[in-house]
Amino acid sequence: MRLSTQLLLGIVGITIITQGILGLIAYWIIADVDRFHVIQLLQQQAEDVAHNVAIPLVTGDSDTIALEQTSRYFSPTAELALIVDHKGIRGIAGPAREQIDEQVLIQTFVNPLAIGSSNAGEISLAGAEFIWVSVPVVGMPLQLVLLNRAGTSDDALIATLNSRLLTTGIVMLWVAVWVALLFASVISRKLNEKNTALRHQVTHDTLTGLPNRSLLYERLSESISKADATVNIALLVIDINRFKEINDALGYDFGDQLLLEIGARIQQTLPENAYLARLGGNEFAVFLNDANEQQAHAYTQHVLASMHEPINVNQVELEIGLSIGLALFPQHTDDADSLVRYADVAMHQARECHSSFMFYNGEKDSHSVRSLLLGTQLRPAIGDGQFSLFYQPKVSLASGEVAGLEALIRWDHPTLGMVPPDEFIDLAEQTGAIQELTDWVLEEALYFLRKLHRRGMHLGVAVNISTQSLRDFQLKPRIMELLKHTGVASRDLTLEITENVMMQDIAFAREVLESLHDLGLRISIDDFGTGFSSLAYLNKLPVDELKVDRSFVLGMMESGDDQAIVQSVVELAHTLGCSVVAEGVEDQAALSTLEKMNCDIAQGYYISKPQPADIMEQWLEDQGAIAAPQRSLKVN
Amino acid sequence: MKFEQNIGKLDRILRIGISSALIYISLIDTAFIADPLSSGILAFIGLANLFVALAGFCPLYTVTNINTRKLS
Asked if A54 contacts A141 with a C-beta cutoff of 8 angstroms, the reply is no
Question: Does any CB of chain B come closer than 8 Å to the CB of residue A184?
Answer: yes
Q: Check whether the bond before A330 is cis (ω within 30° of 0).
A: yes
Confidence of residue B15 (pLDDT cuts 50, 70, 90): very high
Contact B6, B67 (CB under 8 A): yes
For residue A368, pLDDT beyond 70? no
pLDDT for the residue A627: 37
Total Cβ atoms within 10 A of residue A246: 20
Judge: A167–B37 Cβ closer than 8 Å, yes or no: yes
CB A469 within 8 A of CB A438: yes
Is any Cβ of chain B less than 8 angstroms from the Cβ of A588? no
Which chain B residues have any C-beta within 8 angstroms of a chain A C-beta? 22, 32-35, 37-39, 41-42, 45, 60, 63-66
- Of the candidates A160, A164, A185, which has its C-beta nearest B66's C-beta? A185
Give the distance between the most distant pair of CA atoms in chain A. Answer: 181
Q: In CATH, what class is A3-155?
A: alpha beta
Q: Which residues of A touch B39 (CB under 8 A)?
A: 163, 167
The SS3 assignment for A327 reads strand
* pLDDT digits 0-9 by tens, A223-266: 888 888 788 899 999 999 988 888 888 888 999 999 999 999 99
User: Using 50, 70 and 90 to split pLDDT, how confident is the model at A628?
Assistant: very low
Q: Determine whether the interchain pair A178/B60 forms a contact, defined as Cβ–Cβ distance below 8 Å.
A: yes
pLDDT at A636: 42
Q: Does A190 touch chain B (CB under 8 A)?
A: no
A304 CB contacts (<8 Å, ≥6 apart)?
Answer: A322, A324, A356, A357
pLDDT at A11 over 80: no
Say yes or no to pLDDT of A630 above 50. no
Residue predicted with more confidence, A31 or A253 = A253
CB-nearest partner of A171 from B32, B35, B45: B45
Q: What is the pLDDT of residues A526-555, one digit of tens each?
A: 888 776 566 667 777 888 998 888 888 888
- A107-161 residue pLDDT tens: 777 776 655 566 888 788 777 778 888 888 877 888 888 888 776 555 666 677 7
A178 touches chain B (CB under 8 A): yes
| CB–CB contact A159 B34 (8 Å) | yes
Chain A residue numbers touching B15 (CB-CB < 8 A): none
**What's residue A32's pLDDT?**
67
A10-24, A192-206, A399-413, A515-529: least confidently modelled range: A10-24
Full-model pTM: 0.49
What is the tens place of the pLDDT at every residue in A288-316? 988 888 999 999 999 999 998 888 888 88
- A395 sits in which H/E element: strand A387-396
CB contact under 8 A, B38 and A167: yes
What does the alpha-carbon distance between residue A625 and residue A608 come to, in Å, rounded to a whole number? 13
Pick from A163, A174, A181: CB nearest B64: A181
Q: Which residue of B has its CA nearest to A177?
A: B60
Residue A635: per-residue pLDDT: 43
Share of chain A above pLDDT 70, in %: 90
CA A358 to chain CA mean position, Å: 28
Q: What is the mean pLDDT of chain A?
A: 83
pLDDT tens digits, one per residue of A472-518: 888 888 999 999 988 888 889 999 988 766 666 777 788 888 888 99
Domain boundaries, chain B: 9-65
Using a CB–CB cutoff of 8 Å, tell me whether A167 touches chain B.
yes
Interchain CB distance below 8 Å, B34 and A163: yes
H or E, element range at A507:
helix A506-518
Any idea which of A29-43, A67-81, A149-163 has the lowest mean pLDDT?
A149-163
Predicted complex ipTM: 0.84
Q: Of A145, A132, A259, which Cα lies nearest the Cα of A205?
A: A259
Coarse DSSP helix, strand, coil percentages of chain A, rounded to the nearest 5 percent: 55, 20, 25
Query: Would you call A559 an interface residue with chain B, using a CB distance cutoff of 8 Å?
Result: no
The values of phi and psi at residue A432, to 5°, are 85, 5
pLDDT of residue A47: 87
| Domain A390-625, second-level architecture | Alpha-Beta Barrel (3.20)
Q: How far apart are CA A610 and CA A391, in angstroms?
A: 5
User: What CA–CA distance (Å, rounded) separates A45 from A115?
Assistant: 18
The Cα A199–Cα A201 span in angstroms is: 5
Task: Tell whether A5 is within 8 A of chain B (Cβ).
Answer: no
Topology (CATH level 3) of domain A213-364: Alpha-Beta Plaits (3.30.70)
- CA distances, A626 to each of A402, A407, A456, A605 (Å): 7, 20, 9, 20
- Distance between CA atoms of A121 and A576, rounded to whole angstroms? 140
Q: Any CB–CB contact under 8 A between A471 and chain B?
A: no
Using a CB–CB cutoff of 8 Å, tell me whether A189 touches chain B.
yes
**Whether A185 and B64 lie within 8 Å, measured CB to CB:** yes
The answer to whether the beta carbons of residues A320 and A307 sit under 8 Å apart is: yes
SS3 of chain B: helix, strand, coil, percent, to 5: 70, 0, 30
The size of the A-B interface in CB pairs under 8 A is 43
Interface test with B, best of A2, A155, A170, A190 (most B CBs within 10 A): A170
Which residue in B32, B35, B66 is closest to A164 by CB distance? B35
> Is the Cβ pair A167, B63 closer than 8 Å?
no
Give the pLDDT band (50/70/90) at residue B46: very high
A187 in B contact zone (CB under 8 Å): no
pLDDT surpassing 60 at residue A634: no
Smallest Cα distance from B3 to chain A, Å: 20
CB-nearest to B34 from A160, A181, A185 is A160
The residues, ordered by sequence, that sit 6+ positions from A380 with a Cβ below 8 Å of its Cβ are none
Contact A184 B41 (CB under 8 A): no
Higher pLDDT, A426 or B17: B17
| A189 neighbourhood in chain B, CB within 8 Å | 65
Report, as an integer, the average pLDDT of A598-626. Answer: 85
Q: A192 touching B, CB under 8 A?
A: no
Residues of A in contact with B65 (CB under 8 A): 185, 189
Residue A391 pLDDT > 80, yes or no? yes
Taking CB atoms and an 8 Å cutoff, what residues of chain A touch B63?
Answer: 182, 185
DSSP A454-481: HTT----EEEE--HHHHT-TTHHHHHHH
Q: What is the mean pLDDT of residues A258-279?
A: 92
Q: Which of A167, A171, A183, A188 to mutate to test the interface with B (most CBs of B within 10 A)?
A: A167
The secondary structure of B32-64 as a DSSP string is S---HHHHHHHHHHHHHHHHHHHHT--HHHHHH
Query: Where does the pLDDT of residue A589 fall: very low under 50, low under 70, confident under 90, or very high at 90 and above?
Result: confident
Q: How high is the mean pLDDT of chain B? A: 85
A575: contact with B, CB 8 A cutoff: no
Nearest chain B Cα to A185, which residue? B64
Q: From the list A162, A167, A182, which residue is nearest B64 (CB)? A: A182
